[in-house]
Structure formats: C-alpha cells, structure tokens
Structure 1
Amino acid sequence: MNAVEIEAAISDLAEQPFHKEEFPFAFLAAFGHKETALKRLRTGNNNASDVPGGVLLRNNIHLAVCDVGAVGDTFKALRVSPATTKAKAKFILATDGQTLEAEELASGETVACAYPDFPNHFGFFLPLAGISTIKEIKDNPIDVRATGRLNKLYVELLRENPDWATDERRADMNHFMARLIFCFFAEDTDIFNGRGLFTKTVEKMSERDGSNTHTVLSEIFRAMNTPTRHEGKLDDRHRKAANIRSWADQFPYVNGGLFSGSIEVPRFTRMARTYLLHAGSLNWNQINPDIFGSMIQAVADDEERGELGMHYTSVPNILKVLNPLFLDDLRAQLAEAGDNKIKLLNLRKRMARIRVFDPACGSGNFLVIAYKQMREIEAEINRRRGEAHLGSAIPLTNFRGIELRDFPAEIARLALIIAEFQCDVLYRGQKDALAEFLPLDSQNWIVCGNALRLDWLSLCDPDGTSVKLVADDLFSTPLNQTEIDFENEGGETYICGNPPYLGSKWQSDAQKADLGAIFDGRVKNWKSLDYVAGWFMKAADYGTNTKASAAFVATNSICQGLQVPILWPLIFRTGNQITFAHTSFKWANLASHNAGVTVVIVGISSKMNLVKRLYSLADRENANVVELKEVQNINAYLVAAPNIEIQASPRPTQDLPIMQFGNHTYYGVDLLLTRYEAEEIIVKWPSSAKLIRDFYGSQEIVSGLPRKCLWINDNDVDFALSIPPISQRLQRVASARAKMKSDKSAQKLSETPHKFREQFLGNQYTIVIPAISSENRPYLPASIVNGDCVVGHKCYAMYDAPLWSIALITSRMHWVWIGAVCARLEMRFSYSNTLGWNSFPLPFLTEQNKYDLTACAEDILLAREAHFPASIADMYDLDNMPENLRRAHERNDEVLERIYIGRRFKNDTERLEKLFELYTKMMADAPKGQSATKTTKGKKA
C-alpha cells in the first residue's frame, strides 16, 4: 500500500462505529497487513500480548483496546510490557474509542488525540507499513488526503465520461482538474471573497444527483474568465454583457489562461459530486505545493495511478542537489554581508537574475523548493535593510522547466503560482499578497516537450532578453514557444532535476533514438548508457556556451563500470568538471516496503578553480550521517582522485591468476537437476552417479547447498543415452538449442547436447566468486569447492589458483574497489572479472607477502569450517558474524593494507584514493601490449 491508500483506509476506519474487538485488526489491515496474518492473530496463535485486550505484531506494534477512561493506564502497561520489548515492537497504541495515545518507541515521539482525529496523524504511523517517516507529511497530511480525494473524483468522472479519457480529450480533462485545484486553494486562502465560496456554491446550486453539476461549474469558470474592470477601474459592463448569473458573479476575474478557452465540464454522477464536495471540505490553505504537485501528477496517468503518492521527493533530498549547486553560496554571501546594506542590495540584485532550469521538471518539485528557499533568503535581506514591505524581485519566470507530459507541466506552473502567493503571505502579509495576486500572469515559462530533443539555449537563453510569449494562455505550451520578455543580463543559470533513469535494457525505441540524437557520431557503445546520461550531456553542451552549472540525481550506474569510459570523457572534453557529488544513497519514496532506488547526485560546471565537495554516507555505525570532504578533484567514479577511466581488460594487468566465467548451460537448462531429481535417477540407475556432479551458482555458494547437474564426457554419451530420464533431458537440450535459429553457437551446440558451452574443472579445487552479491555483507562471499564440482556461469571461477587469491578477493580493499568500478544492481555488487579483478591495483607481492596472505586465507576458511553447517549467508550477516571469522578477516585486512601503505587505512575513502593512485601509476608504467601472467586456466573436460 502507498501513503494515499493508507490515509483513505484509516479515515474510513475512524468514520465507522467503534468496535472494541475488531479495531486492532482493522487498524493493522489499514496499513497493508494481509488477512492470513491477521487471522493468526485473531485466533491467538501469533498473539504474544501480555496486556488485557492487547494485540502484538512482532517487529511492528503492540496495541490494546480498553474500557472508557482507562487509556492512560493501558498505555503505561504497554510501555513496560516485557512482551513489547521481546517482540521488538516499534509502536505502542492504546484507545477506548474516545481517545487514543500512541508512541514511536525508538524516538519517544507520542500522539494523544480524540479518536475521530487520529487519521490526522496518519503520517506518524507510516513506518508500520514500511514507509520511512517524512516530516512534511507527518506534520501535515492535507496533501495526501487531497490527492486521494481528487483521485477518486478523477476515476469516477472518467467512468461517467469515457470520451474524456481518449487521447483527444485527455488534455481537456487534465486542464479541468487544474482548474479545480486552483478553486479549492483560492477559496481557503481568501483569494475568493469568502472561505469555502467555491464548494458552498457548488453544493447549493447543484442537484444532489449531480445532474447539473457540470453546468454550475461551467458558469463559475465562465465568470472567472470575464473581467471585472474596464480601463483599470472596477466596472461590471463585461459581466453584464456576458450575462453572468448572479450566484457566479461573486467569483473574481482570474484568467491568466487558466479559465480561458473552452468552459466545457465533464458530467457528474451523485458519487462524483460527493467526491468533489469532500475534496472541497479540506483546508487547502495548508497545501505544500512541493509535496502536493508531485503526488497529484500520478492522478492523470493511467500507468502511474496504481502508484499514487509514490512520486513524492522529500525536501531534504531535493536540497542535497540545490544546496551545493547554488543555495549554500547564496547563504554564505548573506552571512558575509551581515548588515552591510550595499552588500545586501548587491546580493538581492544577483538573486533577481538567477535562473533555475529543470529540464525534467515533472510537477515542479525542484523549482518550487528553489523558489521558496530563495524567497526566504530575500526576505532576510529585506529585513536587514528595513524593507520588509517590498515585493519580491525574484520573478517566477526565472524558474524554467521542460516536462514531457502536459498535466505535470500544468501542475508545475500552478504549484509555482501557489508557492509565490504563500511566500507573499508569509513575508509581506495577507493583504499585500491578495492585492497583487489576481489576475494571474499569462506568461508561459514551463514548456511541454521532449527535453532531449529541444534546444535548451532557445528556451533558457542565459544572456537576457529571451522568450517573449505570444500565446495568452498560461496553460498552453507550444513546442515552438517563443519568448518571455524580461531582462536577465549577466545572470547565472543553474540546471537541476531528477530525470528519468532507465537502464539501456528498459528503453523504448523512441528513447534510444533520443540518446542517439545526442551521442551518435560522438562515441561508440552509447547504446549502453542509461537514459539519464542524455541530460548530463545536454547540460555539459549548454555549459560550453554559458556560465551555467548543473546537478542531477542519477542512477549510480553512470558512475560505475562500462558507462564511465563512454560518458564522462565526453563531458570532460566540453570543459566541464565535477564540482560536487553525493555518493550512493537511497532516494526513498512513499511506497510501502520500498527502500527506493539507489542514486548519486553529480554536479558539473565549466567554472574553473572551484573547491570540489564530496558528500558521502558515513560508516555503518553512523549510516545516516553525511560526511563532507573538500578535495582538489572528483573523478567520474566519484572518488577524490585524478580523472581516469578504468578500462576492462581481458587478462590481469598484474601478477594475478586468471579469473573466468563459470560454465554456461546455453539453452540447456535440462542439464541442471534438483538434489531430489538426481537422487531419483541414481536410485534406479546406480551407475549413473558418475554422470552427476555438484553444481554451484551464485545462490548455491551463498547458501552452501549445491544443486546437481549432468556432466557427461564424450566417451560416456552412449551410456548416458541408455538411461531414459537422462536421454529425455538431452533431447530437450538439443531441441531448445536447435530452435535458436539466429544463434550459430546454439545451433552448433545442439549437436552435443550433453555438454555445457564451457567445459572447465579444477584439478584439486576451484575458487568461486558469485557474480551478484549483497552490499550488506562486509566482504565478498568468495568460497572454495572441490575441483570436480561444476561452477555455473553466474559465478566467476579460478581453477587451482594460489590460496592467497582468496585473501585478496575477500579483503576490504577489493570490496571498495569493485564497489566503485563495477556496475551495481541497486546497491548489490555486480562483479566483473575484466573490470574488478583484472584491473585491481596491487603492490608487488614478495614471496613472504604471498606466504602471509596464504595463512590469512587459510584462517578465514578454517574459521568458516568451525561453524559448519552454517552458510555464508548465515556467517556474513552483518549483525551476527562469528567473532573468530571477524577476527580472521580483520587480520587479513591488516596484513594486506600494510603491504599497501605500512599501516591500516583510516576508512574506505582513503582506501579508494590509494587504489586510484596506484591504478594511475600502473597504467602510466605499463608497456603497451603487456601480456598477463601465465596462470592456470582450468582443465578442459
């Protein structure tokens, strides 16, 4: 469930009659807990509560319903309950149906309210659904409630008006919703003369069955498009000429394009009218445009409506982009100015010429936050200068955006308009804000179009008189938008945003073509780039003609693996450099049990001599603490090191053993067996045991439970075919490979269905490295298996390699190296032998070094053996790692790191900086065409 659904569920619960026995289960159901789990709690099987009337859900909540007046005592009993502690409950809650008290045990934060009001605190309880608490929603649930009510209205209107759901009419429907949002906001902020004027008028003038609601709304919209002034003076001649009904004449002239054009309204049902009135009953004065806009954009998108509310981006996350991009600099200049009126005036003039440009603006989150932050700084300037009464010198038209879809583009403009009014009220007062708000400005500064195809310079010309608008309609966005008329000579431009990521495998043909229009002819292999790379390249090109700086949120994969040497040399050649970066972290949303996508933030600029700032999450003990380090250079891997691209190498560049892929079944899945299937064959045909071997893929290495596979030598084929279940499997393999008409390798292998594509085994043993492994383990889960075991292609294999190889692979040094240079799947490591192992920078190892590392590897293996049958998954759990195994790894790290610098490294940052230093030197010293050390490649079966 998402936040919008949860709010609706608990609101419904609070409105229903209170049932003492049912409340705990209904409450848990509202947060997405399944009926099967609730059924077990109802029967008492899983309910370990020791409080009368209590229900205890482990790792979640301990709640109890009590007699009237006993909430305080029950609440105290829940807090001191041994069961609460033992079950690691996150919350306690007590209610008697009249009052409710709850506490988040980790923070000590509490809620005490009348029972009907507890939905107002739904944000407090979101962690119960696995959703990280977000302060803005926790403190003010209006945005989520408004989204939910508008969504119900939208769905009902489309059901009643299917023609409005067509591509031809969808823009009309979205425009209608934008009008409603404005009306709801205006009636609760005195923009309309009278609180609740819009909702009360609709309720009074429309029939209960909704039959004439569309005509009432149409007349209200017509009034707001009809002027109330003539030649600058109040005059009713235009309203009289238009024959505006008396009950609609109460509404002011708004225009600005919002109510111009067609005033047609979709037809309402009784239910749709009810949804509209319910939405209007909320206090829209409390709307946060930066929150509301990002959630409401999903209402108008059929594909996204199921993820309603999940698009919200928290203000702290947005500020991770905006602060280092330019806001920190403005605040520093404000602090330096003190009370010097000349310096303050110069800062105000500078801010008036700053443009913020989001070329993937969605519903305008970044633009709204930037505007509000700048207004806060400007207000402080005015206060210090004794000019608090002044209007803002920061025009909304300085906040430019491009958005592909029309409805979010409309919401972005509306969100900025609302933000401007709210800032005027906050810093100048309600009277002055209202005096200048209407009519709306008709300038159009958010463009609806494809950002990767449009010319950014023509839409956001940094040199001033650009973009003079021809259209009168604020909410029309022609792709060939001309110009908004205002001076910006000498101003700065800051490009920011959170563009769509989309890895290469998930891009449509049209999106591939978008990237092709930017990269084709400039670099090979551009088709491997994430979609977000297009925004970085466009920003870099823009920066060659301006003094603009840019910062985007992006998938961490553009700063890892094979994408680095494709994208970043191009960006650096434009004269841009990385000026700040935030290394990998979770960009959480409002989805239940969704940790969010793993991202980086990268800022680029062509401005020279800037201090580079590198932000990163602290070590695991302080995982939520962000550390800042000022450095001379940040490279494309987001490391404080020279600009260098790690090149994939087919062979080790140093004295390292060969590491290769395991054996691939290649459309031969029937060569693999479960342990049960293997035993069934061997029981009936005991001599078949020589054809079946242990098989290890990534999962099997981590779990310690190998599968089985057929491993048949050429001279055993006839024997294998004499065993029916094996013969049938080989026939299926041959058929599957033969069907791959476009794959010549598969066609050839269909002639030998008994074989894997590769046929490698170890003589004595094989060192195995899973291709994919969790970042939550402190070390890579490399293991060792007997030489006659078969290693699958989802692992890398080192056949009969020296044991000191394990000491390297399972070291912290190697962990941080592959974390930086290999690609990741979210935060999980996606290992690469060509990038991670063959390029691993290593000092020269003496025979004594190898002896010491061999001893460390043996100690690690022996420590694991001591905990048999525990698996790697068990032993390398971060919180439960056996002490002797931890000590063995720490000893290994100490031995290896002393080889590097004669002591232990202080942290991973220092490790990475040393590794990049060594790699740079290694590449400079390596003669061209240097071959790898000859080492064992494994025996061919």
Structure 2
Amino acid sequence: MNAVEIEQALSELAFQPFNAAEFPFAFLAAFGNKDTTLKRLRTGNNNASDVAGGVLLRNNIHLAVCASGAVGDTLKALRTSLATTKAKAKFILATDGQTLEAEELVSGETIASAFPDFPNHFGFLLPLAGISTIKEIKDNPIDVRATGRLNKLYVELLRENPAWASDERRSDMNHFMARLVFCFFAEDTDIFNGNGLFTQTVDQMSASDGSNTHEVLSEIFRAMNIKVADRATALPRLPNWANGFPYVNGGLFSGSTEVPRFTRMARTYLLHAGALSWREINPDIFGSMIQAVADDEERGALGMHYTSVPNILKVLNPLFLDDLRAALAEAGDNERKLLNLRKRMARIRVFDPACGSGNFLVIAYKQMREIEAEINRRRGEVHLGSEIPLTNFRGIELRNFPAEIARLALIIAEFQCDVLYRGQKDALAEFLPLDAQNWIVCGNALRLDWSSICPPTGTGVKLAADDLFDTPQDQAQIDFENEGGELYIFGNPPYLGARWQDDAQKSDIQALFAHRCKNWKSLDYVSGWFIKASDYMGHGRALAAFVTTNSACQGVQVPTLWSMLFSDGCEIFFAHTSFKWQNLASKNAGVTVAIVGFGKNIRGARRLISATDDGNSIVKIAENINGYLTAGPNIEVQKTSSPMGPQAEMTFGNTPIDGGHLLMDTQELQALGLSAEQTSRLTRRIYGSSEFIRGIPRHCLWISDGDLAESMSIPAVRNRFDLVKESRKKGGTTAREIANRPHQFQRMNEGQIHSIVVPGVSSENRPFLPVGLIESGSVPSNKCFALYDAPLWNMALIASRLHWVWIGTVCVRMRTDFSYSNTLGWNTFPVPLLTEQNKADLTRCAEDILLAREAHFPATIADLYDPETMPDNLHHAHEQNDEVLERIYIGRRFKNDTERLEKLFELYTKMTAAEKVKPAAKAAKGKKKTS
C-alpha cells in the first residue's frame, strides 16, 4: 500500500464505531498486512503479546486496546514488555477508543490524540508499512490527504465521463483539476472573499444527486474570467451567487468553462476535498503528488515520487544558495551591501529543463525569498514587496499537466511567502489578478533551443504566450530585462539507461550525440541534459547541477560523455557522490544517485561531498574532480586483457550454446536414468548468477571425448545431443562452428581443486560482491566469471569493500545492478605488491568468510547478504577482511568510499604509467643493441 491508501484506510477506521475486539486487526490491515497474517494473529498462533488485550506483530508493532482512561498505563506496560523487546517491535500503541497514544521505540518520538483525530498522525506511522517517513509528510499530512481526495474525484469523474479520458480531452480534464486546486486554496486563504466560499457555494447551489454540479462550477469559473466592472453587461448574465467570486484571469479561467458531469459520489468527493485545510498545502510537495492523480502510470504510486527538501537542497545549496547565504553573512548590517545583494538576487534566473511539477523551482523560490526577507528585516523594510519575479524561475516539462501544476505551485508559493514575510493584507492586495505571462514551457527539452526559452545574454525577448495556463507554444518567451544577471540550471532529469529507452528517446540521444562520438548508443538518457547544458554555456555564462544515476559517472560512459564535456571546456566544481534518493514508496530502498555541478571557466576550489561509513557527510576540497567523481586528474579506465597486479587470471564461465538441452534441473537429471557413478562422471553441478546467489540446483551434461561413446549409448542423453546439434545448426556463426560436437559446451573449463566464482550481475543493495568457492565437480556457466584453482587470497580481494567500490565505479550497470567485467573490473583493479604474509592474512580472511557462511547452512547468498538481516558473524568476517586489506593499502581503514576510490585511482594512474614505460624501455633497449 502507498501513503495515500494508508491515510484513507485509517480515516475510514477512525470514522467507524469503535470495536475493541476488531480494532487491532483493522489497524494492521490498514498498513497492508495480509489476511493470512491477521488470521494467525486472531487465532493466537503467532500472537506472542504478554499484555492484556494486546496484539504483537514481530518486527513491527505491539498494540493493545484497554479500559477507559488506562491508555497511559497500557503504553507503559507495552514499553516494558519482554515480548516487545524479544519481537523487536518498532512501535507500541494503546487506545481505549477515546484517546490514542503511540511511540516509536528507536527515536522515542510519541503521538497522543483524540481517537477520531489519530489519522492526522498517519505520517508518524508510515514505517509500519515499510515506508520511509519524510519530515514534511510527518509534520503536515494535508498534502497526502488532499491527493487521496482528488484521486477519488478524478477516477469517479472519468468513470462518468469516459470521453474526458481520451487523448483529445485529457488536457481539458487536467485543466479542470488545476482550477479546482486553485479554488480550494483560494477559499481557505482569503483570496476569495469569505472563508469556504467555493465549497459552500457548490454545496448550496448544486443538487445533492450531482445532476447540476457541472453547471454551478461552470458559472463560478466564468465569473472568475470576467472583470467585476464588466459583469453587469456580461452575457449571459451571471447569477447573483457567482458575483461573490473575484476576477482571477491569468488564463486559469479563460477559454472553455465546460465541466465534466458529476454523480452523487463525485459531488461528495468534491465537498470532502474542499473540507480540508488547504491553507497548509506545501506547493513543493503537493505539486508532485497531484501530478500523479492525472498520470495513469503514476497513479498507482500517488505522489510517492515526492523529492524531499533536503535532497533538493543538495543540488541548490552548493550550486548557488550557499553563496547567497555567505554574501548575506558578509554583508552583516551594512545597508549598502544588503541593497546590492537584494539587487543581485532580483537578476538571478534559475532554469529547470526537466521541471516536472516544479519541486526544484518552488524550493529555489522559497529559499531566495527567505534570504530576501532577512535583507529587508535588517534594512527595516519588512513590508517591502519582493523584487524576485516568478518569471525568473523557468522550466521545461514534456507533459502538459505537470507544467500547468508547476506554474500553479509557484503562484501558491509566491502568495504564501508574501503572507509569511509581508502579512496577509499586503499579500492579498497584490495577488489578483494573476499575471498572464508564461514561464514554464511544455515541450521536449532535448529538442528545444534552451537559449530561446531562457536567453543567456539577459536581453529582453518578447513573445508572450496566449495565457499563463494554456499549453504554451514550443518556445514561448516572455518580456524581461536581466542584463548581467546570474543563471543557474538544475533539475532531476529522467535517467533511463540505453536498454530502457523507447524509440523516441533513442532518437533524441542520436540527434544530440551521433555527430559527436561513436559510442553514443551506450549513453543514459540523462546525458542529453548534460550536453545541452554544455552547449548552452557556449552562448553565455551559466552553472548547472543535475541529479543523475551513478551510471552516468561510471563504466564506459565516462570515456564517452565526460571526455566530451571536458573537451568542451566543462569542469566539475562540486559533486555529491553516491547516496539514496528515497521517496515514499512502500519497501522503497531508493535509487542510488549522484549530483554533479559543472560549468566553464570555474574559479576556486572544487568540493567533493560524500557520506562517511557512519552516515555523516564530509566535504573534501580538491583541485580537480574527474568524471568518476573522485579528486584527481581526468583519467579513463580502459579494458585490459590481463591483470595489472598480482591477482590471478579471471576468465568468462562456460558457454553452452545448446538451446537449453545440455542443462537440466534435478528432476530432468534423474530422468536420464544414470547410475551414481555415471552421474558423477558425466554431469556437473553448474552455477550461473541466479544459481549461485539463490542456491538453485542446476546440472549439465559434461562429456569428455573419451566418454562420448558411452554417452551415445544412453538414449535420453543421445536425444539431447541431437537437439543441441539441430539448435546449433540454426544459430549464428559460433554455434554452427561447434554443431559437430553437440556433447560439449563451447568451452570446457573447470577447476581441479576449486573455482572462485563471481556472478556476472548482482544487486548493488548488497554490501559486498557475492563471490564464493565451488569445489571440483561443479562448473561456472557463462553467467559467472571464474578463477580456476587460484589462491584463496584472490577471493578476499573480490569480497572486499574496495573491490565493491571499484566495480561499481568502472563497470557498466544493468539498471542499478552491478554488471561485473573481468577485463574492465578485475584486470584493472589496482592491487599493490603483496608479501607472502599479506597473502597468508588474506587467505585466512577468505576462509573466515566461508566458515561464517557455512555456520548458517542451508542459507543462500541471497539470504546471507540481505543488508537488513546479514548475520553478525558474517558481517564481522567481512569487516576483518576489509581491515586487513585496507591496512595493506594505507596502514589504516579508509574513512569512506570516496577515499577508497581516490587511493585506487592514484594507484591505477601509477600502474598504467608504469605499463607505458615498459614497452618504451624495451624498444630503447632493442635500439641500443642494433646500434
């Protein structure tokens, strides 16, 4: 379940008559617990509660219903309960049907409310559904509640008005929803004269069955498009009850006033939505949530893609806000310096060319208004109007509705800032009518000319859109004078690796890169925004910062994308290395991203911001930041055919090219009718990535030429050979070349003692790479890499955090999973010279890891390396392995992954330089001989 669904379920539970016996189970059901789980708790089989009236869900919550007035004592009993501790409950909760109290045990944070009001605290309880709580949602649940109400209304209206769901009418429906959002906000903030004017008018003037609700709304919308002075002569005449609405204009209510038809239920949903306190709406949150209401693909998540303010500020602060705050601190109370800073801010333009529903733009605006308000306070001008125009906050968005919501979110943010910093009276005096200028363009950012949307020279360009809320033309421009102002480009563009781009997106990338480089097909979609920003910087000074998945700064994309950007004169002046970009999705682990700030002709030091192993952040000042987001020169890691260091040779596993006929599950193996001796000699246990990680038993025929005659005498085996032969004859060149030996794989490699295997693809969520040992009699498939009979200390290298970081940086990704490579990841892995004692110590570490795993047999690699349940002894074995290895590198543990990478790249640079010297030295030596 998502947050919206949970809020709705809790609201319904609070509305119903209190049933003490049923409440615990209804409460748990509201958080998505399965019926089977609840059934076991009801019967008492899984309920280990030791508190009267209690229900205990392991690793979740211990709750109890108690007698009237005993809530406090019951909560104390739950807190001190041995069962609470043993079951690792995260929350405790007690209620008597009149009041409700709960506590999060780790933080000690509590809530207490009247029972009917407890849904207001749903954000506090979201972790019960595995949803990471975002502070803005916990403190102010109105955004999620409003989203839920509007979603119900939207779905009901489309059910009654299917034509409005068509491509031709979807924009009309979305425009209608934007009008409703404005009306709900305006009636609760005195923009409309009279609190509740909109909802009360609909309630009083429309029939309870909803039959004429569309007519009432249409007249209200029409009124807000007619100036008050012109209403007496307007035809058709406005009804008297509509005259109380102000003139809004700005394009929001211009054009058609047609409204979809309402049912009784739709009218009820509308009134329920209006009953919320829209004064408290956060436009930076609400924009992304309401966007999901009108998006079929995102409605299932309903606002779960909200980007938290702290994450947005990771982009905006180092890009330009930190500099503004530093200038404010330096100005102190000097009126002249404060005035100059205010004038400077009035000329700053910010541009989000993938703005969605405007989150980044809204946060940037609110932060700048906060700084401006402090300037005015120090100058004694608190009631002065803002000099920061909304039209300096530009955006491009592909879809119409998010673009419309972005404009609306900025308008709401402006009004709220005016109320906060100037007072309600001044804010209201200047709010209406809305400005008809358009500053959010609807179109494909990778096809549009950014310099025409946000001219870098700062000269005035005038090409007004028809109105603020109509879908603008491809390159609508507005009138402004901003010569000499600063310009900052930022955003969170779509990532989309090369494999996941549709034809249109591939075409976008081709148009941008095909004439620039050969390897453009491997680029992520987000690369388009980087190169467009670089091109834009060629016309005028600007700085940019984008959120991107790590893959744009890893593997083959660094030599492709970043060498191109560096050649264009771009420099990275700040970067946030890998961190989780989390949202409100249930069980969400977050996608791992980086933030890259770049520009041209950068002055001053570069800042590399990274998380330490203990969860804190550190800032490293660097002379240069390369495309891998490490401090150091701009280098590119290239594939090599053999290891650069002392590590053993790693090869690709065995490729069957068999149409599946040499491979078998356990039942198919038994169906061959082989004796135990024949099974041992003619078959092998085979391991691919899935088989190794998840412990899936899989077998293969493994026939030497000497055993071919015997194998052919076994009908079931011979039949499989025939099928392999036919399959290979129909295959490609390689398959056809080996069609005459259908009893064998393309390659037949196995360890005589053991093989160290590394799955080709594995999840980045595991804290270590899933390397392991398979004994003789088992073989790796081509879905794994293998070191045959290699010394065990090689496994310690692969199992280390150092190697995890290296692979995650220089190898290609499959979505966000690691895609291992022997030539790019293992052969290039910088390993210093190892003493015999070093190798012995690492061998012992590898053995300890294997023994720790063995202690949990039959747990699989997937079980053992789940980051939330990894056994303590196994985690300790890996920690010890890292301790030993990292002391070999620098004499101590590394502070974080950034420091690890810096050392690895330093070593790589030295080792590659040494490799280049060797051929040169040989050539010189040879030349000397012939002289």
- Indicate the TM-score class for this superposition, using the shorter chain for normalisation: over 0.9
Deviations for 1:586-645, whole angstroms, at most 9, x for unmatched residues? 1111111111211111111114223211111110xx23x222222221111111121111
Shift of 1:513: 0.3
Deviations for 1:559-602, whole angstroms, at most 9, x for unmatched residues? 11111111101111111111111111111111111112111111
* Contact map agreement 1:860 1:885 (CA 8 A) in 2: no
**SS of residue matched to 1:926:** helix
Looking at structure 1, the residues matched to 804 and 476 of structure 2 have their Cα atoms a distance apart, in angstroms, of 53
Query: Which 5+ residue runs of structure 2 have no aligned equivalent?
Result: 921-931
Looking at structure 2, the residues matched to 19 and 38 of structure 1 have their Cα atoms a distance apart, in angstroms, of 16
- Work out whether 1:646 is the aligned partner of 2:637: yes
- 1:16–1:477 distance in 2 versus 1, CA, 3 Å: same
Shift of 1:298: 1.1
Looking at structure 1, the residues matched to 729 and 232 of structure 2 have their Cα atoms a distance apart, in angstroms, of 79
- Work out whether 1:910 is the aligned partner of 2:905: no
State how 1:430-441 maps to structure 2 within 5 Å: 430-441=424-435
Shift of 1:239: 5.1
Looking at structure 2, the residues matched to 308 and 149 of structure 1 have their Cα atoms a distance apart, in angstroms, of 11
Partner in structure 2 of residue 806 of structure 1: 795
Shift of 1:436: 0.4
- 1:53–1:713 distance in 2 versus 1, CA, 3 Å: same
- Tell me the TM-score normalised to structure 2 length: 0.94
Partner in structure 2 of residue 592 of structure 1: 586
Looking at structure 2, the residues matched to 223 and 828 of structure 1 have their Cα atoms a distance apart, in angstroms, of 55
Shift of 1:478: 3.1
Looking at structure 1, the residues matched to 32 and 752 of structure 2 have their Cα atoms a distance apart, in angstroms, of 54
Q: Which of 341, 344, 347 is equivalent to 1:353?
A: 347
Partner in structure 2 of residue 709 of structure 1: 700
Looking at structure 1, the residues matched to 190 and 233 of structure 2 have their Cα atoms a distance apart, in angstroms, of 21
How many residues end up aligned between the 2 structures?
917
Looking at structure 1, the residues matched to 260 and 874 of structure 2 have their Cα atoms a distance apart, in angstroms, of 71
Partner in structure 2 of residue 697 of structure 1: 688
Looking at structure 1, the residues matched to 646 and 622 of structure 2 have their Cα atoms a distance apart, in angstroms, of 32
**SS of residue matched to 1:695:** strand
Q: Which has the larger displacement, 863-872 or 394-403?
A: 863-872
* Contact map agreement 2:800 2:881 (CA 8 A) in 1: no
Deviations for 1:759-778, whole angstroms, at most 9, x for unmatched residues? 22234432222223455665
Deviations for 1:843-873, whole angstroms, at most 9, x for unmatched residues? 345xxx1464145315532663487454673
Partner in structure 2 of residue 890 of structure 1: 880
* Contact map agreement 2:288 2:356 (CA 8 A) in 1: yes
- 1:221–1:20 distance in 2 versus 1, CA, 3 Å: same
**SS of residue matched to 2:300:** helix
- Work out whether 1:563 is the aligned partner of 2:557: yes
Q: Which has the larger displacement, 282-291 or 646-655?
A: 646-655
Shift of 1:120: 0.7
AA at the equivalent of 1:767: I
Looking at structure 2, the residues matched to 917 and 430 of structure 1 have their Cα atoms a distance apart, in angstroms, of 59
Partner in structure 2 of residue 474 of structure 1: 468
* Contact map agreement 1:688 1:720 (CA 8 A) in 2: no
Deviations for 1:74-119, whole angstroms, at most 9, x for unmatched residues? 1111111111111111111111111111111111111111111011
Looking at structure 2, the residues matched to 46 and 449 of structure 1 have their Cα atoms a distance apart, in angstroms, of 55
Aligned-residue identity in percent: 68
- 1:810–1:214 distance in 2 versus 1, CA, 3 Å: closer
AA at the equivalent of 2:771: A
Partner in structure 1 of residue 293 of structure 2: 299
Deviations for 1:452-482, whole angstroms, at most 9, x for unmatched residues? 0001111111222344233331112333434
Looking at structure 2, the residues matched to 884 and 506 of structure 1 have their Cα atoms a distance apart, in angstroms, of 36
- Work out whether 1:380 is the aligned partner of 2:374: yes
- 1:176–1:885 distance in 2 versus 1, CA, 3 Å: closer
Shift of 1:783: 3.0
- 1:156–1:775 distance in 2 versus 1, CA, 3 Å: closer
Shift of 1:875: 6.8
Shift of 1:701: 4.2
Partner in structure 2 of residue 937 of structure 1: none
Partner in structure 1 of residue 925 of structure 2: none
- Work out whether 1:494 is the aligned partner of 2:494: no
Shift of 1:911: 3.1
Shift of 1:140: 1.0
Looking at structure 2, the residues matched to 866 and 289 of structure 1 have their Cα atoms a distance apart, in angstroms, of 51
Q: Which has the larger displacement, 119-128 or 869-878?
A: 869-878
Deviations for 1:196-233, whole angstroms, at most 9, x for unmatched residues? 111111111111111111111111111100011xxxxx
Query: Which 5+ residue runs of structure 1 have no aligned equivalent?
Result: 229-234, 932-941
Partner in structure 1 of residue 328 of structure 2: 334
- 1:867–1:770 distance in 2 versus 1, CA, 3 Å: closer
Partner in structure 1 of residue 809 of structure 2: 820
* Contact map agreement 1:462 1:488 (CA 8 A) in 2: no
**SS of residue matched to 2:430:** helix
AA at the equivalent of 1:175: H
Q: Which has the larger displacement, 608-617 or 113-122?
A: 608-617
Looking at structure 2, the residues matched to 875 and 256 of structure 1 have their Cα atoms a distance apart, in angstroms, of 59
Partner in structure 2 of residue 786 of structure 1: 775
**SS of residue matched to 1:216:** helix
Shift of 1:15: 1.1
* Contact map agreement 1:99 1:113 (CA 8 A) in 2: yes
AA at the equivalent of 1:302: D
Deviations for 1:786-827, whole angstroms, at most 9, x for unmatched residues? 344211122211223344433433444433322332244576
Looking at structure 2, the residues matched to 834 and 755 of structure 1 have their Cα atoms a distance apart, in angstroms, of 26
State how 1:412-423 maps to structure 2 within 5 Å: 412-423=406-417
AA at the equivalent of 1:509: D
Shift of 1:705: 7.2
AA at the equivalent of 2:794: S
- Work out whether 1:745 is the aligned partner of 2:739: no
State how 1:500-539 maps to structure 2 within 5 Å: 500-539=494-533
* Contact map agreement 2:449 2:475 (CA 8 A) in 1: no
* Contact map agreement 2:793 2:846 (CA 8 A) in 1: no
Looking at structure 2, the residues matched to 867 and 89 of structure 1 have their Cα atoms a distance apart, in angstroms, of 27
* Contact map agreement 1:317 1:587 (CA 8 A) in 2: yes
- 1:487–1:820 distance in 2 versus 1, CA, 3 Å: same
Partner in structure 2 of residue 726 of structure 1: 717
Q: Which of 592, 595, 602 is equivalent to 1:601?
A: 595
* Contact map agreement 1:298 1:309 (CA 8 A) in 2: yes
Partner in structure 2 of residue 216 of structure 1: 216
* Contact map agreement 2:801 2:882 (CA 8 A) in 1: no
Looking at structure 2, the residues matched to 167 and 885 of structure 1 have their Cα atoms a distance apart, in angstroms, of 54
- Tell me the TM-score normalised to structure 1 length: 0.93
AA at the equivalent of 2:620: K
- Work out whether 1:147 is the aligned partner of 2:141: no
AA at the equivalent of 2:775: N
Looking at structure 2, the residues matched to 866 and 300 of structure 1 have their Cα atoms a distance apart, in angstroms, of 51
Partner in structure 2 of residue 543 of structure 1: 537
**SS of residue matched to 1:167:** coil
Deviations for 1:148-190, whole angstroms, at most 9, x for unmatched residues? 1111111111111111111111111111111111111111110
* Contact map agreement 1:444 1:477 (CA 8 A) in 2: no
* Contact map agreement 2:465 2:473 (CA 8 A) in 1: no
Shift of 1:755: 2.4
Q: Which of 319, 325, 329 is equivalent to 2:319?
A: 325
Looking at structure 2, the residues matched to 590 and 891 of structure 1 have their Cα atoms a distance apart, in angstroms, of 36
* Contact map agreement 2:133 2:584 (CA 8 A) in 1: no
Partner in structure 2 of residue 314 of structure 1: 308
Looking at structure 2, the residues matched to 524 and 279 of structure 1 have their Cα atoms a distance apart, in angstroms, of 54
AA at the equivalent of 2:160: E
Looking at structure 2, the residues matched to 2 and 877 of structure 1 have their Cα atoms a distance apart, in angstroms, of 23
Shift of 1:57: 0.3
- 1:239–1:597 distance in 2 versus 1, CA, 3 Å: farther
Partner in structure 2 of residue 196 of structure 1: 196
Looking at structure 1, the residues matched to 97 and 917 of structure 2 have their Cα atoms a distance apart, in angstroms, of 79
* Contact map agreement 2:647 2:831 (CA 8 A) in 1: no
Q: Which has the larger displacement, 318-327 or 467-476?
A: 467-476
Partner in structure 1 of residue 67 of structure 2: 67
AA at the equivalent of 1:890: Q
- 1:732–1:98 distance in 2 versus 1, CA, 3 Å: farther
